[in-house]
């Protein structure tokens, strides 16, 4: 039987702990008991863990041998902010697929209300990513940054393969671009509802980003994010 995996809030060489609502969920919903075994992600390492004690808001584990893990693919998702319920869906599913980093971006066509409220949503996005990482048995959740302005894209890793998904692209498919640039970190830029504005596409082009298409159909932003992530990870895995 596959053991549940949890990402510890606290850990040392021999011990780890889940705290707060995380611990309460394990105890009250999943009925955890002293002596029960789980896999515990402690930093970048996953180890066998046995529940040693249960208190209000705290579950402590004794750590045992290391458990083999799969490396996280070097894929960063640059995600223009769109409707929060759909964006949360994209974050959850892209985490399950294995994306390493999520960077929310305030784009030209990001709704003004969403842009102003986005900074307050970051902790929720991180919780969603954390829960999705545990569900999909990842060792660590993706790094989810605070929202950045579009102009700050210029500060991202120029050594990576930087790909902007654009409805206007007629020649390069995402799969073809990835096949021609193997073995490097990948950054995927997904636009908001309505797509990237013309001036943003000009900026991408002038900055050396590679335009790519997901096909002839027009996808919702969350569908494009999930599809692009799945293609990228399948190509580099």
- pLDDT tens, residue order, the chain (237 aa): 567 888 999 999 899 999 988 888 888 888 889 999 989 998 888 999 999 999 889 999 999 999 888 888 899 999 999 999 999 999 999 999 999 999 999 999 999 999 999 999 999 999 999 999 988 888 889 999 999 999 999 888 888 999 999 988 888 999 999 998 877 899 999 999 999 999 999 999 999 999 999 988 889 999 999 999 999 999 887
DSSP state of 168: T
CB 4 within 8 A of CB 38: yes
pLDDT for residue 53: 93
What's the pLDDT score for residue 30? 83
Residues 6+ apart with CB under 8 A from 50: 35, 36, 37, 61, 62, 64
CB 218, CB 174: distance < 8 Å = no
Residue 115: per-residue pLDDT: 95
Q: What is the DSSP string of 129-148?
A: HHHHHHHTT-SSPPEEPPPE
Q: Are 215 and 192 in contact (CB under 8 A)?
A: no
How far apart CA 103 and CA 145 sit, in angstroms, is 5
Nearest to 80 by CA among 199, 204, 218, 191: 191
Between CA 151 and CA 153 the distance in angstroms is 5
| pTM score of the predicted model | 0.86
Distance, CA of 169 to CA of 237 (rounded, Å):
26
Q: Are 178 and 186 in contact (CB under 8 A)?
A: yes
Q: What are the DSSP E strand ranges found in the chain?
A: 5-7, 10-11, 15-19, 37-42, 45-55, 58-67, 75-80, 101-106, 143-144, 148-149, 161-165, 186-190, 210-212
Homologous superfamily (CATH) for 5-67: Hypothetical PUA domain-like; domain 1 (2.40.240.20)
Beta-strand relationship, 58-67 and 45-55: antiparallel
Note the pLDDT of residue 2: 66
Q: What is the pLDDT of residue 43?
A: 82
List phi, psi (to 5°) of 70.
-100, 130
Q: 3-class DSSP state for residue 177? A: helix
Domain ranges of the chain: 5-67, 75-236
The hierarchical CATH code for the domain 75-236 is 3.40.1280.10
């Amino acid at each position: 039987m596959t053991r549940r995996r949890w990402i510890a809030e606290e850990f040392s060489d021999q011990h780890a702990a889940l705290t707060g609502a995380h611990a309460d969920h394990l105890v009250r919903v999943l009925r955890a008991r002293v002596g029960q075994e789980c896999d515990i992600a402690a930093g970048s390492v996953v180890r066998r863990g046995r529940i040693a004690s249960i208190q209000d808001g705290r579950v402590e584990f004794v750590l045992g041998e290391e458990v083999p893990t799969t490396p996280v693919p070097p894929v960063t998702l640059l995600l223009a902010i769109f409707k929060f319920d759909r964006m949360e869906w994209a974050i959850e599913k892209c985490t399950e697929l294995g994306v390493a980093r999520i960077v929310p971006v305030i784009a030209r066509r990001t709704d003004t209300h969403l842009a102003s409220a986005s900074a307050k949503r970051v902790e929720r996005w991180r919780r969603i990513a954390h829960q999705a990482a545990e569900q999909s048995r990842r060792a660590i959740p993706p790094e989810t940054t605070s929202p950045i302005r579009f102009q700050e894209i210029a500060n991202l890793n120029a050594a990576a393969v930087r790909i902007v998904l654009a409805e206007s692209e007629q020649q390069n498919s995402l799969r073809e671009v990835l096949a021609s640039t193997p073995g490097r970190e990948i950054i995927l830029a997904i636009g908001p509802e309505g797509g990237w504005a013309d001036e943003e596409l000009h900026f991408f082009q002038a900055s050396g980003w590679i335009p790519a298409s997901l096909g002839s159909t027009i996808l919702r932003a969350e569908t494009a994010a999930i599809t692009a992530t799945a293609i990228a990870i399948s190509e580099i895995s």
